[in-house]
Amino acid sequence: ILNVEQSPQSLHVQEGDSTNFTCSFPSSNFYALHWYRWETAKSPEALFVMTLNGDEKKKGRISATLNTKEGYSYLYIKGSQPEDSATYLCAFTSGGYQKVTFGIGTKLQVIP
Amino acid sequence: DAGVIQSPRHEVTEMGQEVTLRCKPISGHNSLFWYRQTMMRGLELLIYFNNNVPIDDSGMPEDRFSAKMPNASFSTLKIQPSEPRDSAVYFCASSLMGNYEQYFGPGTRLTVT
């Protein structure tokens, strides 16, 4: 069983605040690390896929970093907006067959 | 592209009945995944296919669950007989082989009474 842990499980921030969450995963047999954004009553949507140690990805106000040696990734949101409210899922791919293990997610609520 | 298509969107059935969930992946995608979402366990991978071949079904809960992919554009997840604890949202996702990004369907909400 592969453990993918995310923290915190839930988070409330004020509009305009910046925030970040953590995903930890096994550092052995690493293949890829994914971040997904999941709005209530919708389907998960891919934000980033990272494969190399030290990778940094950015999409608008959201960015992510990857450390495969120590087994963690951070997701940052700068200047949170109410539309950022969602559950952010981290997923770890091991081996070469795209087997994906999801974390339980961090539920973000941005208060106007 | 219409994206990943799942049907039905909602299914209510009685315990003991057979349930079949359907998925049409994005055209050209070679990998297809079935997930189950529950409050307790989050998003769980049940089974995935590469080029229509099941690669890993270790996530399938028990023999009551089976999945098939007869061709590149269609897959089914069958539960027979269904039980109340099978109530969950079932997602199908597809991706390009070698491209890790998965595209999720809208999900099927299953309720077994």
Say whether A83 sits in a helix, a strand or coil.
helix
Partner-chain contact B43 A89, CB within 8 Å: yes
CA neighbor of A38 nearest in space, from B14, B86, B37 = B37
Average model confidence (pLDDT) for chain B?
92
User: Of B55, B95, B100, which to mutate for an interface test with A (greatest number of A Cβ within 10 Å)?
Assistant: B100
For chain B, strand residue ranges (E) read 5-7, 10-13, 19-24, 31-38, 42-50, 53-56, 65-71, 74-79, 88-95, 103-104, 108-112
At residue A5's C-alpha, the angle toward residues A23 and A49, to 5°, is: 40
pLDDT at B52 over 80: yes
User: Among A56-65, A73-82, B90-99, which is the least confidently predicted range?
Assistant: B90-99
CA distance A93 to chain B (A): 9
User: How far apart are alpha carbons B100 and A100 in whole angstroms?
Assistant: 10
Q: Is B95 on the interface with A (CB under 8 A)?
A: yes
pLDDT: is A97 or B85 the higher one?
B85
pLDDT value of residue B78: 97
CA neighbor of A87 nearest in space, from A25, A9, A3, A4 = A9
Nearest chain B residue to A102 by CA distance is B43
Taking residues B90-101, report their average pLDDT: 84
